[in-house]
Structure 1
Amino acid sequence: MSSVDPMFKSLPKNSTFFTIWRIEKMQIVQFPKDQYGTFYTGDSYIVVVASDNTEKPNCFMKSKKAVGALDIHIHFWLGAQTSQDEAGVAAYKTVELDDHLGGSPVQHREVQGFESQRFLSYFPKGIRIQNGGVVSGFKHVEDTMTPRMFHIKGKRRPIVKELPNVSWSLMNDGDVFVIDARTVVFVWCGRHANHVEKLQGAVTAQQLKAEHGEGTIVIVEDGQEKHLGSPEKEYLNHLLPLEDKVVKNHRDMSGDELAEKQHCADIKLYRCSDEVGTLRVTEVKTGPLEQKDLLSQDSYIVDNAEAGIWVWVGKKASHKERTEAMRNAQGFIKKKGYPHCTQVARVIEGGEPMGFKCLFRVWHDSEHPALPGKTHSAHKIAKTVQTKFDASTLHSNPALSAQMQVVDDGTGKREVFRVRNLNLVSVELRDHGKFFSNGCYVIVYIYDSGTKEDCIVYYWLGQNASTDDKRTAALKARELDDRFNGQSVLVRLVQGKETPHFMTIFSGQMIVFEAADEGINGGGAVTNGNGVAADHGGGVYNFPRVYLLRVHGTTQHNTTAVQVPCTAASLNSGDVFLLSGGGGVVYVWAGRKSTGDEREMAKKIATGSGMEMVLVSEGQEKQEFWNAIGGRLDYTSEKQMQEDSGTRAARLFHLCDRVGRLAPREVVDFDQCDLVEDEVMLLDAWHSIFLWIGKDVGKELAKLANHAAEDYLQDDPSCRDLGTPVIWVKQGLEPPNFTGFFTSWDSEFWKTLPTYESIKNEIEDSNQTLLAMQQQAALYRNSRSEVEKFTFDALNVKNPDQLPTCVDPANKELYLNDEEFLRIFSMAYEEFEGLPKWKKLDLKKKVGLF
């Protein structure tokens, strides 16, 4: 760019900041800080935020020197009635600002009513959208008495939208509406509105009252209008004639949640190029996407349909591709026939946010590939346990618990049951940790959390188990949870996807055998001579005497042994195997590329077998070993590489009910306050999925939550494993491996939150105080002729302490004599007294006696 807008030059360098500009007369103008969060439908805005991850970015943040690299996001917000010219200036200036900031910021296009969750997260008190604008034929709503009606939507950060007029026809029985008549603010609560939205409506009314500097708040419950006091009912009837009351049914509304589109599973990648001077968009592939699909010399469009469009610009892409990326994306949306409100973001190679990375099956931030089977640690990132640590510190260090996904050292009390004939039968203690791949198990684990005993109910599903057994395991696990009065954490595990803590409770000696050879019911001898009988209370199962186990893991938190075909072809130079030939000897065969920790864990499992242990190093096998395994055969000498998906920060989603299915809506930069008591939340920790159930969640919503994780994994465009562990957590019973994903956690948090009832009481008390003040003011008005008079200059002071001691600061006009009053107000006091209260207040503000 040849020149930079002076406004952009004022941004602090190497510092955090939050700034809003509005487009006025085709120029960008600084928007007043005291109006941050208010947007006008006829305007366009640019919002830029730079944070260093030491605090949650928001409109109240103060600029400070950055600690580390800055994460910069630029949003241009377009009001529903903004002009094309204003919108064009906002888009153009965003590109100019991006260039000024080095080209690294993420750009976002925001459309009124369809703002991104990141944008909304900047405004903790919510946003207010008011009618009007500075140009295009609109004028801002002046400070007049004209009543206004606002629609309140949202639980965490409400969106307060001004409606065209005050009318029953714009209302429905599922939401909250605020009618602002200045002297009186009505809060009308639909009969199906939830208590959180009612709370937000009451808070909004308090904010409006504070802005006006006066007024009374009246809360009206749907259906109770005629039971209001006489003055309130009369005023409400003037604004909303009660005989005309007809409101829409909330079920007929296409609310925010219903209007959202399902997360697109068939994500597509398009390559953009201007090699011949004209933009060409070519489809590259349909998902799943890989990071290697993106080439630095090009730019790409990631098409997630109505869930959002991303433009990725490579480091070596042309300047034209970089500057026109957003315009190209908007053209793409139009060509595809997507709604104009489809969210668009542009990212630069190397500066991709997590929301973009998670669209790819594999993503590595480092240029150096991660080591096999290992992941990097980072703030709010879960990883597979690879190292030893002190488990006794987990409850005092929940961040470590979350990172390691372990809640204690595994030495608590446990009960193990296997599903048999649609019931649970107890497994003997000596066989704890031994599983069959065609079976399903339920494990109850009780441990000391430091202040009380906590309980986890696991249900484990073998990969070859029947559908009936899987259903029974899930059902019985929930019945056990009920037996503990719903005070347990419920965890679903699929074979091969066990959590670190589950492996810990079996001390790293978990064994999975192939399908069980079931013997006679009720116990007794086994007749096939090829197994050892184990009485599980409901029958006899045969653990094989001849088997080969592949041992994978380095600590008790990540080790399992899984049966593989008993043949030399199953061996691998990178692993350790246990071989039982049926003769009372177990061989520990160590591949030359295996590690010492892997060999130690294999020896620990072998010791638990009760047989004589013989160590065998690859290349030094004796004939007895080859005889036991069935003879020599070729096998691979390469270590089996476990795919590493890269570091994945935890993500939190609010699950909204969309016609019998819970749909995810991401919460950006989440913290504990984003967990709302009447909602189901999904925390995606990548290796595990947590479902948080608020205490006020209804039965129907709780029932839908049972399938929410499966639906989420199924819809994830990065093709997630449907066997990912699922953990159900109830409000107030959160384990440390959940709370550790939050920057701070207060177990008393929900007890300190204001409730709708408490705010209601506060409003009623305030109204009573206001009434007393009005009565006192009336006494002053009635005695105007008796009070001492002062000059205008003596009364025109901002600090009440500087007024004469006998002057009431709320009624300074009473202390002017008739001549002075006429000169200041251009009317006699009697005429002034006959004006509406709001008009008198306006006049007092204008002359400086407010």
Structure 2
Amino acid sequence: MPQPGGVASGFNHVEVNEQDYKTRLYVCHGKHVVHVKEVPFARSSLNHDDIFILDTKSKIFQFSGSNSSIQERAKALEVVQYIKDTFHEGKCEIASVEDGRMMSDAEAGEFWGFFGGFAPLPRRAPAEGNEKQEETAFKLLCFDQGKLEPVNCKSLAHELLETNKCYFLDYGAELYVWMGRITSLQERKGASEAAEKLLSDSSRTRTPMIKVIEGFETVAFKSKFKEWPQTPGLKMSSEDGRGQVAALLKRQGLNVKGLMKAAPAKEEPQSYIDCTGNLQVWRVNDKDKVPLSSSDQSKFYTGDCYIFQYTYPGDDKEECLVGTWFGKKSIEDDKVIAVSLASKMVESAKFQAVQARFYEGKEPIQFFVIFQSLQVFKGGISSGYKRFIAEIGIDDESYSEDGLALFRIQGSGPENMQTIQVEPVASSLNSSYCYILHDGNTVFTWAGNLTTALDQELMERLLDVIKIWKLVQSPAGNIFDITNHQSVSAKKKASQISLHSKL
């Protein structure tokens, strides 16, 4: 992200902190490739088609235009996090404002206050020249029975991809290899060899090859298509929707008799991964991998990298998934070693295993279901991470059971639960989540006023999962339940967090 100014050197003198923090406005714009640039801080810069990021001294606002695309929103999240970490040292609030939200919303009112108050934005017709300029040439090739055949299409649609074939999506600067779910191992190997041969052409610049398995498509790959359904191949009738509502009400203890009409039992669609298989997890340490015990397999640190192998019964043989998980603060050396070790594991399995990479905060639902109860702690315990923070001189914030820690609870059920450690400050609290706070032998559970009975049930389950029960069972231990509208003096003593009913 280009910024005015420079770095102090013998040729350039830079004055630091001479002025107050300057409020800036950025725009995220683009149909396929999203570009970010700074625009004048004025109401005239805003529109309904893009995402805007307002960077103020104490808070970052993300304004999402009503006509903005999913790839623009995804890029904006990365930019907001970058601004927070780079220019605010990770110590500022983030607010999301949707286009059309009136002044009755506190965050929207604060956002529009920087522009002199709320006023409707004028709608403008899209310029034909800009649309043509954004269109990027692409080629869609079908790999079937060892031959590459071009697919004639003016725009990309999900219906063009058949689950029993492999496809190449060539954008010039990047080549995607999409493999259908029911393609054989030989077909996938053939597609990979054909892609490498295509990239080895001397007339072609160096292009990265990205392999994508059906059901595990990345956001970048989906953004190339005009539309991408959330559940491919499944059509839901009104009766199915009514059944889902009935199941939800029944789980909350309500009587749903008569809500649904009697219907023959339907066979549920099979999940992409059988979640009753065997899981092995290793943590990357120096140039080797350290196996984790069964009790620690779901405990990850944001400063470390992990490798896991998951085997489960398939239709006619045992399937195997070898994955790598990269924490947000993991070092580059550990990432390279993790990829190398995982590739060797796939090679030793005679390439019968599927290899995948997962990044913290961008994991698919299948990843969470495999681990079922995932805990992500701050800091890291690998030797490389410890050396890194010692070299740059920052404090070690790695989690300790005896120290102060705040956890956000999230998930959709007992088979999909996550415990994420966050900063123990009031700005980390959100009314849509439940939290667990512990300091020494004192434990607090905090439930936001927008949480459901299921959220609070998960919080009770995870009290034991993260081993806080050791603290609770201590003779001097205490546990407090705090609602969204209470402020407890003991909590201030434990964590310096003050609760306000407006959260």
TM-score, normalisation: structure 1: 0.28
The higher relative CO (CA closer than 8 Å, separation ≥ 6) is in 1
TM-score, normalisation: structure 2: 0.46
Rg larger for: 1
